[in-house]
Amino acid sequence: MVELKTPCTNEDIEKLKCGDVVKMSGVLYTGRDQAHKRMVAALKEGGELPFDIEGQAIYYVGPTPNKPGEVIGSAGPTTSYRMDDLTVPLLEKGLKIMIGKGKRNDTVIEGMKKYKAVYLAAIGGAGAYISNSIKKCEIIAYDDLGAEAVRKLEVEDLQLIVAIDCEGNNIYDKREEYAKTTKATNE
């Protein structure tokens, strides 16, 4: 298991290899479709992002409302490909880690290789479990988006898997190769 603290440097990211289990602590930010659209629009207009993205992580999540006494509600990952068309401009500005579930397109993977970033997979359906690792939560931008507002989260020992490393090694490709090999062996 690799322990990782945000913000991250290129050296931190280069150490992470496809398939590694990561225990992450520190600050990460949330952002889904609508927040990404606003952030990329701000960049195109010469504006600023709502937080310093250099070396940071974005978790693709729209948490449920928290119950009294809880920091956050269920915080399971959103399907990441929905952000694919809006990811590279954030990588160019220094985003180092994306957290979600599911595959990413080739453009995002090439951007990850070029700008030294990784994609970490969170377990879908484990939102209540994941929320136990979130120690603080504060909305910092786009409050009108509700669940899709940008939040600053402080996490402790959030367990994730390196799905795509900064060299482009991809756990989803390995899974497909394994399935083909297993099928051929069983025939």
Specify whether 36 is catalytic: yes
Assign residue 144 the CATH number of its domain. 3.20.130.10
Task: Write out pLDDT tens, residues 169-185.
Answer: 999 887 655 555 545 55
Measured between alpha carbons, how far is 29 from 90 in angstroms, rounded to an integer? Answer: 13
Q: What is the DSSP letter of 82?
A: G
* Count: domains in the chain: 1
Note down the domain range covering 59: 2-186
Report whether 21 contacts 41 (CB < 8 A): no
Helix then strand count (H, E) for the chain reads 6, 7
Whole-model pTM above 0.85?
Answer: yes
Task: Write out pLDDT tens, residues 4-31.
Answer: 999 999 999 999 999 999 999 999 999 9
Which position among 32, 36, 101, 104 bears the catalytic label? Answer: 36
